[in-house]
Amino acid sequence: MANFLFQFSPVREAQFLASDDIIDLRFGDPRVRDGRVRDVVSRSNMRSTSEFSSCKLNRTVQCESDIEYMQAYVLEACLTVGSYQEQPVVITYTLGGVVKTHVPDFEARSLDGRSLIIENKDDDEARTPRVIERTQFMIDRLGRLGIAYRLITRAELDCQPALDNARFLKYHAASICPPSLERDVMKVVIDRKSISLRDALAIDPSERLFQGICRMALLGSIDYPRNQPITLDTVVRAAV
């Protein structure tokens, strides 16, 4: 999952004017709109807004399209992502001598502090000259500032086991995970060195242990095979 999210393609050769550059980056204030730079808007009647309850952020994430909702699931379950923010920044820039603004869909922060700006697009729109040009511009100019930029399409999200795995974990995760449950989960996992989800249900038919494992897997303290679909036979371990 981490390799999928943080895997970058080389920048294509692109010709930009010498004056084309980033003019301003205005990041959201966490005290206002939970850090979003604008109120959530529906981009069309066919793309309704939605809310995503995040265990990682301990708040509700506002999504402007179903693709963003899918992306939020992947960010939620990505072990290398410490936090993320929707509608995170207003980028003012010049391209082709014209001043423009761009509000990407997400910023993901890795556990070691790196920043990745993410824009989500349907596959057809991602192939348009306008989006291709802007994407290459952002990769180049933001890269000079030490900020990574990536366009992620619906097809990329759909083909990743990360999405279904995130949905599985989110669906079954305990709504809260008090310290007593964390201790119980870690004791079982560490004592056994590893445990399957099926065995966790057998040990505790109330599902408390199973739900705790799912929540802690979302938060990164429990690890599981990232490139395989999660089933009840999936074996989990304490994260290193």
For residue 183 the two structure tokens come to 């201790």
Phi then psi for 129, rounded to 5 degrees? -55, -40
Task: Name the residue with tokens 């679909």.
Answer: 229
**pLDDT by residue (tens digit) across 137-152?**
999 999 999 999 999 9
Cα–Cα dist 225/23, whole Å: 42
How far does Cα 188 stand from its chain's mean position?
29
Q: Residue 85 pairs with which residues in a beta bridge?
A: 107
Q: Is the pLDDT of residue 208 over 90?
A: yes
Q: Which of 22, 6, 159, 13 is nearest to 90 (CA)?
A: 22
Say yes or no: do domains 2-158 and 173-238 share a fold: no
Average model confidence (pLDDT) across the chain: 88
Contact 41, 64 (CB under 8 A): yes
Provide the residue ranges of all domains of the chain, joining segments of one domain with +.
2-158, 173-238
The confidence band for 211, taking pLDDT boundaries of 50, 70 and 90, is very high
On whether the CB atoms of residues 182 and 220 are closer than 8 A, the answer is no
Question: What one-letter code names the amino acid at 176?
Answer: I
- Please identify, in words, the CATH class of the domain defined by 2-158: alpha beta
Q: Which residue has the tokens 């739900």?
A: 211
Q: pLDDT exceeding 90 applies to what percent of the chain? A: 64
Task: Output helix, strand, coil percentages for the chain, rounded to the nearest 5.
Answer: 35, 25, 35
Domain 173-238: which topology?
Arc Repressor Mutant, subunit A (1.10.10)
**33-84, pLDDT tens digit by residue?**
899 998 876 555 455 678 888 988 989 999 999 999 999 989 988 888 889 9
Q: What is the pLDDT of residue 47?
A: 56
pTM above 0.85, yes or no: no
Q: Which of 4, 17, 43 is nearest to 125 (CA)?
A: 43
Strands (E), 98-181: 98-102, 106-110, 115-121, 148-153
Task: Give the type of residue at 11.
Answer: V
